[in-house]
């Protein structure tokens, strides 16, 4: 596989990821309680649409179709965001769940753009590097804005009454997730002991 083929695969993955976010960000915006957070999600939705357009320009430059790769990583992160929307939390604690999901999304995208930029730069694709750096800058700015908006929400959540989560009835998704977590821990246990 040539380096150019690797770049196309990376770009298709990013294109799929951004398109998935165009579908999921309105749900996060609608679900957010804090008005600042709601506005951040709405603003980033518009930025994400622009990122999709820039990625299409990259594919035009390469003479390739943007489709053909589904981003399973983003699918999982989007699913976590959907799970956050279904949490039985209220007030600032609810928004804190959304903040965690949003930050995971941004950092996943930042990693993807950094990888694609490095490859495009190695290939001397200056125009592609420029377009991808615009998207990267927006993702980094979005992560900073979310982190900034999170501080007062976290402070408010810390002041809310704390209940014991273990006593709450768990959804079937939460039970499955807890079971998988234990399986993951057991599978990694011998390797972790060896490393310590």
Counting the structural domains of the chain, the total is 1
Q: What does the pLDDT read at residue 165?
A: 55
Q: What does the pLDDT read at residue 167?
A: 53
Q: What is the CATH number of the domain that holds 146?
A: 1.20.1260.10
Q: What does the pLDDT read at residue 172?
A: 66
pLDDT digits (tens, 9 = 90+) for 31-63: 999 999 999 999 999 999 999 999 999 999 999
Q: What does the pLDDT read at residue 173?
A: 65
| Section 66-88 average pLDDT | 91
| Contact predicate 147/105, CB 8 Å | no
Residue 188 lies in a domain: no
Q: What does the pLDDT read at residue 15?
A: 98
Reply yes or no on whether the pLDDT at 164 is more than 60.
no
Q: Is 66 helix (H, G, I), strand (E, B) or coil?
A: coil
* pTM score: 0.86
Residue 175 lies in a domain: no
Residue whose token pair is 């079937």: 172
* Dist. CA 154–CA 164, nearest whole Å: 18
Reply yes or no on whether the pLDDT at 75 is more than 80.
yes
Residue 173 lies in a domain: no
Residue 57 lies in a domain: yes
């Amino acid at each position: 596989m040539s380096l150019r083929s690797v770049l196309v695969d990376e770009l298709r993955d990013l294109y799929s990821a951004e398109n998935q976010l165009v579908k999921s960000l309105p749900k996060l915006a609608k679900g957010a309680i804090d008005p600042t957070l709601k506005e951040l999600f709405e603003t980033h939705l518009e930025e994400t649409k622009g990122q999709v357009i820039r990625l299409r320009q990259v594919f035009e430059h390469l003479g390739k179709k943007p489709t053909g790769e589904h981003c399973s990583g983003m699918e999982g992160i989007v699913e976590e965001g959907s799970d956050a929307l279904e949490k039985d939390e209220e007030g600032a604690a609810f928004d804190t769940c959304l903040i965690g999901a949003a930050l995971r999304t941004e950092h996943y995208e930042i990693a993807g753009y950094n990888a694609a930029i490095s490859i495009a730069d190695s290939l001397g694709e200056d125009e592609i590097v420029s377009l991808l750096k615009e998207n990267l800058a927006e993702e980094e700015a979005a992560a900073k804005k979310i982190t900034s908006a999170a501080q007062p929400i976290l402070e408010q959540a810390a002041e809310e009454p704390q209940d014991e989560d273990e006593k709450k009835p768990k959804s079937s998704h939460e039970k499955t997730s807890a079971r998988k977590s234990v399986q993951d821990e057991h599978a990694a246990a011998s390797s972790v002991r060896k490393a310590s």
